[in-house]
Amino acid sequence: MEPLQVIAAPRRMRILELVWDRELAAGDIAAEFDVSWSAVSQHLTVLKKAGFLVERREGTSRFYRADKEALGPLRAVVEDHWRTSLLRIKHLAEEEECSK
């Protein structure tokens, strides 16, 4: 899958944020969403195949963390996304308001 497509999915973008500077077990990641573990696991697979996530196994658990270097120019996009997300959502809401 194309790197850009990999990070374009909102759920995957959020997963990257969660494991940006700490390791998290798959279950702890899944707990952050109100979708099935299965769905989250499938996203983790996509991110891992793209090389954006590194996996460490310990017992029955699997821990993930972001590989920032692997993102290349997308790294700045990901970091900017979080910085501006609140602001952007506010603007989108205002546009909605105007079109009423």
Partner DNA sequence: TCCTTATTTTAGATGCAGCTAAATTAAGAT
Partner DNA sequence: ATCTTAATTTAGCTGCATCTAAAATAAGGA
Answer yes or no whether residue 72 interacts with DNA by CB under 7 A. Answer: no
Q: Which amino acid is at 18?
A: L
Instruction: Select 59 or 73, whichever has its Cβ closest to its own copies.
Output: 73
Spatial separation of the C-alpha atoms in residues 81 and 15, rounded to whole Å: 13
Per DSSP, helices labelled H in the chain are: 3-8, 10-18, 26-30, 37-49, 74-98
- For DNA, the binding residue among 4, 20, 22, 35 (CB under 7 A) is 35
Answer yes or no whether residue 60 interacts with DNA by CB under 7 A. Answer: yes
Give the interface with its own copies as residue ranges (CB under 8 A): 2-5, 7-8, 10, 13, 72-74, 76-77, 79-81, 88
